[in-house]
């Protein structure tokens, strides 16, 4: 193909336009009130282009051929799922089911596409890591600009309907933009680390700070936790490098800047939305951590009565702790487990499809997922489908971990650490808060990060 290089370079640059697509999606939903949004159309067309390119590359590329066979196997189990559930589920909303499976296949297709993309650029001696880092940085600047402008102008969307405080800028889905920012944040830290040679060059950390401040606007545990994880990773990786490899001013300067940012975060935490929201959540659960029990006095002597030696109930129950962490997702998980236990063998093997064996919803409502991606994928795809989907990515992840550990002296670099943290944050959020592997707007970033690590370290090669 004459224009193959142009295609892959444009495909990589597609990362930059993700925030713009998400803002246009919000406009489609809120201003035009249409469900077929710009985001859906553009991302489906991009996915189709990647699939066509993979099919074309499969004729000459071993990895591309392997990816095509994997995607065909995944398509087969999804077709079986649809055929089986057409006869089992009642009601069965085919539109919702197909829309869900479109989201499910997005991550595997993007991972395959970006892997072949990076293999091509590596062979062409294109600086694909540098380009990816720059494109992630540009995306972060767009997101930060949207948050700051929308907040200053008072046009930001609210992340919560009541009680809690949080803003999503001009982005419609708070959970998704929070996950996106958490995945991008380590790459902005990597950019800062690579550019900063001395403390007075702290300006390279400005994109990181802007994105971190925007994440604070969200008021979510994901946003705050992402900042903490990235700053700690930056500090400790610099500390380790300083004492094992590179006692340079560059390492020392980045270590100092990250430590200062950790201190700033700690000091400002009490005035952040997430701090307020945690207490609001505790209040909703009728938990008062500030309440001190007054001692009981004897009415005759006025002396303090001894405490009842009987075992008291814990101040916070296990159920309340789960609710604090998972925000009611544990309830939907328990419900889905019950449905899966009662499901026929065919559904256990090939899945219950979108939202399990749902009943006719109330007017204006739709069946909902657990919003914990791995559980959602398992119950939706079944044992066979779930194992099929995770088989190839899991295989490469295991190989990468073994390679990283065996060659730790060479592989422990800021690039591997920060891109690794980006991937781990994506997977961690996927497991606990969802909206990552089942959200194309987020999964494209995770797929790009994972593919870059695999190709750069030679785990995936021609």
pLDDT in tens, 11-35: 999 999 999 999 999 988 888 778 7
Please give the tally of structural domains in the chain: 1
pLDDT in tens, 430-446: 999 888 999 999 999 99
pLDDT of 183 above 90: yes
pLDDT in tens, 54-77: 999 999 999 999 999 999 999 999
Residue 297 lies in a domain: no
Report the distance separating Cα 128 and Cα 212, nearest Å.
25
Residue 302 lies in a domain: no
Classify the phi-psi angles of 361: left when phi > 0, otherwise alpha if psi is within -120 to 50, otherwise beta.
beta
Residue 299 lies in a domain: no
pLDDT in tens, 386-417: 999 999 999 999 999 999 999 999 999 999 99
Classify the phi-psi angles of 327: left when phi > 0, otherwise alpha if psi is within -120 to 50, otherwise beta.
left
pTM score, whole prediction:
0.90
Per DSSP, what are the bridge partners of residue 167? 158
Provide the pLDDT for residue 274: 80
Residue 214 lies in a domain: yes
Lowest mean pLDDT, pick from 270-284, 315-329, 408-422: 315-329
CA 270 to mean position of chain CA atoms: 25
CA 407 to mean position of chain CA atoms: 28
Q: What is the dihedral of CA 384, 391, 326, 221, to 10 degrees?
A: -160
Provide the pLDDT for residue 290: 53
Provide the pLDDT for residue 379: 96
CA-angle at 56, arms to 54 and 59, nearest 5°: 105
Angstrom distances, CA of residue 107 to CA of 111, 324, 360, 435: 6, 29, 30, 12
Query: Quick one: pLDDT band at residue 423, thresholds 50, 70, 90?
Result: very high
Sole residue written with tokens 């064996």: 357
Residue 296 lies in a domain: no
Provide the pLDDT for residue 109: 98
> For residue 190, what are the contacts with CB-CB under 8 A and spacing of at least 6?
133, 414, 415, 418, 419
Retrieve residue 338's tokens.
Answer: 């019950």
Length in residues, the chain: 462
What's the mean pLDDT when you consider all of the chain?
88
Q: What secondary structure does DSSP assign to 251-269, as a single string?
A: HHHHHHHHHHHHHHHHHHG
Q: Is 105 exposed, middle or buried (0-12, 13-18, 19+ CB in 10 A)?
A: middle
Residue 20 lies in a domain: yes
Angstrom distances, CA of residue 97 to CA of 51, 81, 358, 367, 448: 21, 10, 12, 11, 26
Query: Can you give the residue range of the structural domain that contains 277?
Result: 4-283+353-456
Closest CA to 16 of 177, 184, 136: 136
Residue 42 lies in a domain: yes
Residue 202 lies in a domain: yes
């Amino acid at each position: 193909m004459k224009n193959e290089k142009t295609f892959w370079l444009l495909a990589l640059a597609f990362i930059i336009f993700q925030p713009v697509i998400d803002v246009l999606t919000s406009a489609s939903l809120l201003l035009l009130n249409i469900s077929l949004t710009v985001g859906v159309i553009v991302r489906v067309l991009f996915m189709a282009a990647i699939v066509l390119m993979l099919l074309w590359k499969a004729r000459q590329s071993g990895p591309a051929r392997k990816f095509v066979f994997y995607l065909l196997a995944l398509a087969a189990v999804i077709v079986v799922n649809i055929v089986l559930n057409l006869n089992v589920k009642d009601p069965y909303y085919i539109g919702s089911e197909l829309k869900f499976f479109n989201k499910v296949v997005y991550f595997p297709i993007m991972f395959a596409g970006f892997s072949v993309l990076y293999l091509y650029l590596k062979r062409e001696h294109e600086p694909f890591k540098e380009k990816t880092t720059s494109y992630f940085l540009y995306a972060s600047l767009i997101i930060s600009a949207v948050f700051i402008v929308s907040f200053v102008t008072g046009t930001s969307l609210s992340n919560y309907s009541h009680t809690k405080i949080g803003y999503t800028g001009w982005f419609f889905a708070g959970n998704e933009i929070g996950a996106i920012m958490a995945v991008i944040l380590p790459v902005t830290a990597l950019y800062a680390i690579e550019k900063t040679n001395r403390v007075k060059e702290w300006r390279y950390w400005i994109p990181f700070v802007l994105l971190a401040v925007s994440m604070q606007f969200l008021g979510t545990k994901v946003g705050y936790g992402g900042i903490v994880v990235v700053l700690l990773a930056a500090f400790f990786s610099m500390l380790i490098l300083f004492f094992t490899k590179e006692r340079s001013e560059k390492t020392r300067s980045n270590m100092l800047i990250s430590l200062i940012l950790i201190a700033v975060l700690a000091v400002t935490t009490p005035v952040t939305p997430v701090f307020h929201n945690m207490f609001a959540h505790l209040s909703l659960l009728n938990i008062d951590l500030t309440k001190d029990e007054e001692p009981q006095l004897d009415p005759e002597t006025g002396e303090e009565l001894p405490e009842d030696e009987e075992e008291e109930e814990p101040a916070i129950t296990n159920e309340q702790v789960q609710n604090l962490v998972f925000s009611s997702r544990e309830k939907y998980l328990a419900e889905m487990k019950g449905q899966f236990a009662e499901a026929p063998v065919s559904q256990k093997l090939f899945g219950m499809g979108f939202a399990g064996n749902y009943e006719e919803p109330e007017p204006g409502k739709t069946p909902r997922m657990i919003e914990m991606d791995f559980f959602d994928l398992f119950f939706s795809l079944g044992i066979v489908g779930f194992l099929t989907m995770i088989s190839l990515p899991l295989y490469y992840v295991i190989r990468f971990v073994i390679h990283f550990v065996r060659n730790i002296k060479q592989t422990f670099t800021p690039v591997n650490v920060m891109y690794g943290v980006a991937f781990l944050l994506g997977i961690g959020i996927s497991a606990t808060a969802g909206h990552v592997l089942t959200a194309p707007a987020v999964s494209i970033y995770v797929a790009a990060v994972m593919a870059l690590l695999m190709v750069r370290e030679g785990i995936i090669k021609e």
